[in-house]
Structure formats: C-alpha cells, structure tokens
Amino acid sequence: MGAAVLEDMVELAGGSFRMGSEQFYPEERPVRLVEVGRFWIDRNPVTVQQFEQFIEATGHVTLAESTPNPEDYPTAQPDLLVPGSLVFNKTAGPVPLNDVHNWWSYVPGARWDRPEGPDSTTDQRADHPVVHIAYEDAQAYASWAGKALPTEAEWEFAARGGLDGATFTWGEELMPDGRPAANWWQGEFPWQNLMLDGWERTSPVGAFPANGYGLHDMCGNVWEWTTTPWGSEQTRKAPCCAGGMDRTAHRQRRIVKGGSHLCAPNYCLRFRPAARQGEEIDTSASHIGFRCVVREGS
C-alpha cells in the first residue's frame, strides 16, 4: 500500500472495545466486547469532489442513474420506473411519524451531482459528503481507490474515538456548551428545523470538531455504508428514516452507521456510535454516503 492511498487517512492500532448500547434501540443490544485489528480510515466521508474524480477516471454509472427493473417494482407507477433516487422533503407541518412516505419521495433525475433532482447542483458542495450512493457505488469507489469499506465493528471502533461506552462521539451531553457538536436535526422532525447547527441539509466535511481519533462527521451529516449484513431476524424492521418504491421481496441489507442530518431526538436518535440500521443495497438516498478503510497487510 502506497503513501498516496493513505493520504488523509488516520491510522488506528485497533484493540478491544464495548460495542453496542443497552440504553436506546433494541437492535443495538447486547453490549459485547469486540476486537478489531490495525487499520486506517478516511478522516472524512468521501466528498462530492473526490467522487467526481472517480467518475471521471472510470466512467462509473451509479445505481441512481440506472433504469429500475420493472419486475422488482410491480406496484410502481410507470412514470417512476426511470433513473432517480430518494429525496427528503420537509413537511409543511406535523405529520404522523409512522409513515416515511410523508417526507421521502422518489425523484426522477436525482443523483450524486443533482442531489435534489434535475434542477439542483453540487457546484457549491464540492466539500460536502457525496450522497445518493448505493452499496455497489461505494464498493466500486473503494476498489478504485485501493481501499475497502469498513465492517460495522471497525466503523464503531473508529467513531468512538477512544471514549469506550460513551453515548456520542464527543461524550455524554447532547449539546456540549449549548451547541450542536454535529450536523443533526434540531427541532420537531420532519417539519421544523431550527438549524442551530447552521445547516439545512449536508454540511462541509470537517465543519464540526473531530472525535478523539481526529475523525470528522462520524455521527450526523450522512449515514455511512459498512460491509456487515443486516441480520435475517431484523429484515422485517423498516429503517427509521428511508423509504422507497415497494419491491417484490426484501432485498439484502447492509448496515449503515452514524445517523445523518435528518436524525432528530423526537424521532430518530441515531447520531451515535452504537446506532445502526439496515439499508437495502439497491437503495440510494439524499442522506447516505460512505468512507473507506485500509487494513494492515492489504
């Protein structure tokens, strides 16, 4: 592995840590002692600019730019069987929180460089995390970069920053010194965003303090893919904050970590190291990105 591959990565010696939490959601239990080996991890989530370099070098076509197979979406309206992705839209007022379709919609033309749809742009977001990334897109980027996607254990070890068992990446207080320490939703989700953190959607990488390992955005901003499968006993549980067109059957899920700018204490308190949810590998959305690792000996 060359120095160029490890540029802007942080080396972690590995070790054992307490993974999971007993205090929040059932899927985080039980707390267990887990060991990870030595590895390097990206200091920040992969940005729009970095992903653009990958696209220019490889010509990769993301899942969001590909036409859906009608057999996978038997109940979908024909006009939605076109390239696109899931986009969050803030509601006009309070809505029932048991139906994610109240704030998620499949938007034709939405993709990594048009995050809100065909009329949007990333011209002012080169240093924001890239979004609308499906699992296969993250894998393709990682392979091109000479890296890999992290396991859930590697990701959580890194996110904790040495604060073994702490609730957040920065400690126990939700708002240390009265200010948000990450990009998460302040206010009543999904209609009232007070923007105390200064951002309506994604924020530039590094806009908030790093954790104890010098890593930015390990919680909040965007969910991040891992290679760890979502357990079969959990496949019937719908993710807390994503939804799409109905499929013929449940697709394989991988665990995403870290929460996003849409996580709110009144609905989805998942901007924490222990938090986890299963995302269908053939789904992309406006709050899902990734970062990479390099393992010792690879």
For the stretch 43-52, pLDDT in tens is 999 999 999 9
Res 83: pLDDT = 97
Give pLDDT tens digits for 202-220.
999 999 999 999 999 999 9
Q: Is the pLDDT of residue 194 over 90?
A: yes
Range scoring the smallest mean pLDDT among 41-50, 81-90, 134-143, 243-252: 243-252
**In the predicted model, what is the mean pLDDT of the chain?**
93
In angstroms, the Cα distances linking 290 to 48, 203, 234, 239 are: 11, 14, 22, 17
In angstroms, the Cα distances linking 212 to 78, 209, 221, 241 are: 49, 10, 18, 28
Higher pLDDT pick, 72 / 171: 171
- Name residue, tokens 């079969």: 232
Cα–Cα dist 155/177, whole Å: 27
Residue 193 included in any domain: yes
Pairing of strands 9-12, 39-42: antiparallel
List the domain range (segments joined by +) for residue 157. Answer: 9-295
Residue 35 included in any domain: yes
Residue 184 included in any domain: yes
Confidence of residue 239 (pLDDT cuts 50, 70, 90): low
Q: How many domains does the chain have?
A: 1
Residue 1 included in any domain: no
Q: Is the pLDDT of residue 263 over 90?
A: yes
What integer is the mean pLDDT of 240-246?
Answer: 53
Give pLDDT tens digits for 107-117.
999 999 999 99
CATH number of residue 268's parent domain: 3.90.1580.10
Range scoring the smallest mean pLDDT among 74-78, 158-162, 290-294: 74-78
Residue 154 included in any domain: yes
Residue 24 included in any domain: yes
Confidence of residue 232 (pLDDT cuts 50, 70, 90): low
Cα–Cα dist 295/298, whole Å: 6
Residue 205 included in any domain: yes
Residue 85 included in any domain: yes
